[in-house]
Structure 1
């Protein structure tokens, strides 16, 4: 029971630490910042994670898995591949909900440039998203001559391209506009007719 409580508390701390990293950036986040946000002492954070860098890597991994879990829960209620693709894409762009996850994704990219372990994690996450999107393309029998994995790569590139301005709060790209552009782009890539925006 105590181990379960400790694991649950560690998960809560990771979620709260993610909010801190999203707000302050990974380079600006210290144990004391997470302590201020959680009430968990520095010594407990060191016990949970070891070093500050290990805590940040754990935050990135937790956030990435949380995104997969959230999307998985939403997909469980849907059967239409087009609707499922829109859910995946909408979540990943931050066009729906909070952009905290996307800010953490950007921070993990930055760390991946100089840390081979984080790089492997980020590339593994991309692979998982590509596979998920490609599976929906296959299930939907969407048109196009490109292999589903190639189309999935293009879709994720489109998602990333729309997500960054949303995460940065670009006044020229509201969430609703990003969502509409995304749906239009997906329809074009998949050879699907959609009503004009």
Structure 2
């Protein structure tokens, strides 16, 4: 890769990161091309050289965040135990509002904005679908090993992720009205009911 190409890729990534920071700080609706340019230290023209318009910039920033989430999820899965129950817990912890809340704050914003933007809706849908596929695969493995009892892993996964989505919103958006301890306890109860763990 030539130096110019690498510089261009680095600059593009810097613009995406700055856009995500601005979404975190003020929300999607407050992102302005001029503010992104100022934060990165480039001209507005350069921002829109890399991204045709503000809508494209926001979608690409969220696609960038989605790709990072997927990489993180896949690395956590690869590093997890071979024990199917521990693998499931690892993935549910990664999925839920653990660690940094920025990811969840970002995706709550993205869900809201995707109501108005079909391209963004596709990004959010693909991320959600990827998570469900991973969880369904783990539950299928647990059923095949006789560790889990679950007649419908797809439906069980939908119920578990929907529950975690709702609890994450309560925890992140409403300033810990639901605690992490409650989320863990209720997730354990849901796993007992869904999978016989």
Please name the residue that 2:172 is paired with.
167
Please name the residue that 1:80 is paired with.
83
- Equivalent of 1:91, from 91, 94, 107? 94
Compute the TM-score of the two structures, normalised by the length of structure 2: 0.86
Q: 1:169 deviation in Å?
A: 4.4
Contact 2:15/2:37, CA 8 A, preserved across alignment: no
Contact 1:111/1:118, CA 8 A, preserved across alignment: yes
String of CA shifts for 1:140-168, please: whole Å, max 9, x gaps.
2221222x211111111011011101221
1:68 to 1:187, Cα distance in 2 relative to 1, 3 A:
farther
String of CA shifts for 1:71-97, please: whole Å, max 9, x gaps.
1111111122222222222222222x2
Contact 1:109/1:122, CA 8 A, preserved across alignment: yes
Q: 1:110 deviation in Å?
A: 1.7
String of CA shifts for 1:19-42, please: whole Å, max 9, x gaps.
211221111111233234333332
1:171 to 1:117, Cα distance in 2 relative to 1, 3 A:
closer
**What does 1:51-90 correspond to in 2, within 5 Å?**
51-78=53-80, 79-90=82-93
Q: Please state if 1:145 is matched with 2:148.
A: no
How many corresponding residue pairs?
190
Greater Cα shift, 117-126 or 16-25 = 117-126
Contact 1:93/1:166, CA 8 A, preserved across alignment: no
Contact 1:17/1:37, CA 8 A, preserved across alignment: no
1:183 to 1:45, Cα distance in 2 relative to 1, 3 A:
farther
> Structure 2 stretches of 5 or more lacking a match?
none
Q: 1:178 deviation in Å?
A: 2.3
Compute the TM-score of the two structures, normalised by the length of structure 1: 0.86
Q: Please state if 1:29 is matched with 2:34.
A: no
Q: 1:111 deviation in Å?
A: 2.1
Please name the residue that 1:195 is paired with.
none
Please name the residue that 1:191 is paired with.
196
- For the aligned residues, what is the CA RMSD? 1.9
How far apart are the structure 1 equivalents of 2:128 and 2:35? 29
> Structure 1 stretches of 5 or more lacking a match?
193-197
